Structure 1
Amino acid sequence: MQDVYFVSELEGWVVSNGGGIAHTMDGGLSWEPQQACTVRNLYSILVEMNVTGYGWAVGDDGVICWSSDYGRSWLYTQVTEGSGAALSGVVSLGEEDAMVVGDLA
């Protein structure tokens, strides 16, 4: 496990090595794996529970997994293919925008 993000006492997500994303609705007593968007390591996750339901998970090689359905499914994009960027954090800038931080290779 690399990062965990809860939107309430009961609902949250976790990211891990190998592109793992899991979701809980019972405060972490049980976790439901979600379909992976990558096999790269993920280091940070954020899910906005506002009207749009956007979420982001970031990790190795500039990978950004993103969701527009409250974290039910995740799609793949990359900062720059082959950049070697290790993205380690993500913050929301609004309904559909986020800023990522990390190290460039």
Structure 2
Amino acid sequence: MSQQKAVEDICAAEDTNLWVAIDADSTVGFVAMKLHSEDSMGEIYMVAVDPDFQCRGIGSAFDEHCAQPLNLCGGKVGIRCGVSNRQQENVKRSFEHTVPI
């Protein structure tokens, strides 16, 4: 499956919550998350930030935003990364500050 198709599919899914970062009317990032109320679990399926806007806190803001509904319901965080180990560790470290894992 192509990356474009994967993004289109997850963004079109009815059970996906999607938040977008915008700068001067341009999309600079997005996060796609699914909440599973039956087991109080949430999954972040995709986080993407335009390379020109990375290292500005956008990804961390997405992580914190996604953690809020889990904090409210005492939920668990599932980290499923299709990225490098370094990026996966950055995501995990970000969530350790927002939700106990």
- TM-score, normalised by the number of residues in structure 1: 0.31
- TM-score, normalised by the number of residues in structure 2: 0.32
The structure that is helix-richer by fraction is 2
The structure that is strand-richer by fraction is 1
